[in-house]
Amino acid sequence: MSERELLGLSAAGGVAVGRALILRDEHPVAQGEGGEEEQRRAARALSDVAAELGRAAERLRTAGRVDEAEILEANRLMAEDPALAQEVQALAAKTAAASAVLQATERHAALLESLPDELLAARAADVRGLGRRAARLLAGEPTQLAPLRPAIVIARDIGPADMAELDLVGGRIRGFALAEGGATSHAAIMARALGLPLVVGLGDEILTAADGELVALDGGEGSAVLDPGEERLERALRIVHEQKRSRRRRAASRTLPAVTRDGRKVRLLCNASTAGEVSSGLAAGADGVGLLRTELAFLETGDWPTDAQHADALAPALALLTGRTATVRTLDFGADKTPPFLAGITQRGLALSLAHPAEFEAQLRAILETGASTDLRVLLPLVRDAEELSKARALLDKALESVRWSGPPPALGAMIETPEAASRADEIAAEADFLSIGTNDLVQYTLGLDRDLPLATVQAAADPEVLGHIAEVVKAARANELTVEVCGEAAGEAPLVVLLVGLGVDELSVAPARLDEVRTIVRRISAAKAAQAAGWAVAADSARQALAFADEVLSVGEPGHDRGELLDGLGGVVA
């Protein structure tokens, strides 16, 4: 057959080549009329799947991969959901156990997909994944993917549980090509954590691939090529080789400072939600944490967290940061991170916390108590104006008195995430101790884009209007002698690193997996050239033109250095 190129959506960057391993929608289902024995078999299958997920979560937790472990724990709870078990039992009274499980999980998945909340709808793949695993158990099939050679998994969709067990097959799974799926799904989060390319939304044609057919997958471009021709295959294999070489080279520079070729120091921090991510960031050479998210532990709770609950969630991560920078962001509830007890709210971020001062104080006390041994910074999300910041400082002062804090108070920072806040950056900076720019929301609010789209952090973040807002914030920080950091996803993308350094950003806080690449870029560029490119980019006609200016800076490397290494963050083509 001649090569077939299919286009989808990038969900995790990287290039991979392997043989197609098809995860079929259909599973052998024993025919039967149901009854007590089928009910027992169905219940046992769900119980066994829950136990498998629990064991896999524990292995991940032991390996320090706490975020992935929590995803599997959430899936384990789904398998133990009484409502699902009740429906399975009702169906298994009339039909075979495997059929009952698949019907029940499909109905629950369809209900999730019908919800207006995009993140909840994305959990449908998790539920279907549970059904497939239980059906495989009932059919006597293995529940784990186990290819004998490098493979690209092809499926309609996939749950995170299958991904979490990839380490058990010797790294032979190289990437995923899905007919459906979303860039914000648990599977996408897992793929990015594992460093494996994932392309979603390829359509039904990807399911026509033959088992063992050669596949070239480009997670950055969002494409999958079946039976690639010689030229295409050679190009993909060359990129795969460059990826490996670049990763080794970047990792070797972890002990080196992030200083530009003309002597400008850029501080590198990491974004984290868990102790595992903090540990990974420090191992990759981060100076500390530039963004510790605090709301993710409470998205399923039934009420505002107490002092003790906040402390329990914070302590493991902050214990690793003794003597280091720990930037703890207060609760950023609202929008796509709304727990059940806040359903229907319209406020978000700091405004929401200020509307509940007693609950806000509880978190501030916990931050102070658990972060006392760190170089603590408290970061406020979605600050709108100086008045909000002043009210938050008053509550922080009150919390300081109640915990008997010794020494100077922690630095209080404002996240600038909207055009309106950027326009008020001068007045906000006058009340703040440092500024932080959240590019994900800044892009969304400036351009009206979905903040979860991959391009929202690459090309859209290079839009001259967005860059102009960043320049406003940096100017205000300089006038008030404040440090300014960028902690959005843009800080980890190669061309945007150039523009951010050029605009004068002091600190870049990125995912642990991006630290090596960002350090490499900083050390290979000239700050003066980056500043010139940034000036041109702010005045450019388009994001494409702005990126071209950054590309020029990236292309001027020292003799003997591979230009591909400098560009492998561009658009996520190489990760």
Nearest to 226 by CA among 177, 268, 163: 177
Average pLDDT over residues 42-69: 79
Does the pLDDT at position 358 exceed 80?
yes
The model's pLDDT over 251-279, given as tens digits with 9 standing for 90+, comes to 777 888 999 999 999 999 999 888 878 98
| 568 lies in some domain | no
Of these ranges, 23-37, 161-175, 376-390, the one predicted with the greatest mean pLDDT is 376-390
Same domain, 189 and 302: no
| C-alpha separations of 330 from 292, 352, 488 in Å | 9, 11, 16
Same domain, 163 and 228: yes
Q: What is the pLDDT of residue 81?
A: 87
Q: What is the pLDDT of residue 57?
A: 79
Same domain, 490 and 432: yes
Same domain, 475 and 339: yes
Same domain, 196 and 285: no
Q: Which is higher by pLDDT, 571 or 467? A: 467
Domain boundaries, position 522 = 253-563
Does the pLDDT at position 146 exceed 80?
no
Report the distance separating Cα 210 and Cα 494, nearest Å: 37
Residues in the chain: 575
Q: Which is higher by pLDDT, 565 or 169? A: 169
- This prediction has a pTM of 0.69
Same domain, 298 and 384: yes
The model's pLDDT over 207-221, given as tens digits with 9 standing for 90+, comes to 999 989 999 999 989
Q: What is the pLDDT of residue 404?
A: 83
pLDDT-derived band at 451 (thresholds 50, 70, 90) equals: very low
The model's pLDDT over 68-94, given as tens digits with 9 standing for 90+, comes to 677 778 788 888 888 899 999 999 999
Same domain, 133 and 270: no
Does the pLDDT at position 372 exceed 90?
yes
Q: Residue 43 sits in a domain of what CATH number?
A: 3.50.30.10
Report the distance separating Cα 298 and Cα 352, nearest Å: 15
The model's pLDDT over 165-175, given as tens digits with 9 standing for 90+, comes to 654 455 688 99
pLDDT-derived band at 182 (thresholds 50, 70, 90) equals: confident
Report the distance separating Cα 521 and Cα 423, nearest Å: 30
Domain final residue, candidates 244, 267, 302: 244
Domain final residue, candidates 220, 244, 268: 244
Does the pLDDT at position 437 exceed 90?
yes
Would you call 506 helix, strand, or coil by DSSP? coil
Same domain, 239 and 295: no
Q: What is the pLDDT of residue 226?
A: 96
Strands (DSSP E) contained in 53-205 are 151-155, 173-178, 198-200
Same domain, 96 and 8: yes
Q: Which is higher by pLDDT, 187 or 117? A: 187
20's enclosing H/E stretch is: strand 15-23
Q: Which residues are catalytic?
A: 186, 487
Domain final residue, candidates 189, 216, 244: 244
pLDDT-derived band at 565 (thresholds 50, 70, 90) equals: very low
| 181 lies in some domain | yes
Q: In what order do the strands lie in the sheet with 214-218?
A: 4-7, 223-226, 214-218, 15-23, 151-155, 173-178, 198-200, 9-12
Same domain, 238 and 341: no
Report the distance separating Cα 201 and Cα 178, nearest Å: 6
Strands (DSSP E) contained in 170-266 are 173-178, 198-200, 214-218, 223-226
The radius of gyration of the chain's CA atoms, rounded to the nearest angstrom, is 25
| Domain tally, the chain | 2
| 338 lies in some domain | yes
Q: Residue 433 sits in a domain of what CATH number?
A: 3.20.20.60
Does the pLDDT at position 1 exceed 70?
no
Q: What is the pLDDT of residue 16?
A: 94
Tell me what the pLDDT averaged over the chain comes to.
86
Report the distance separating Cα 513 and Cα 343, nearest Å: 33
Average pLDDT over residues 469-477: 98
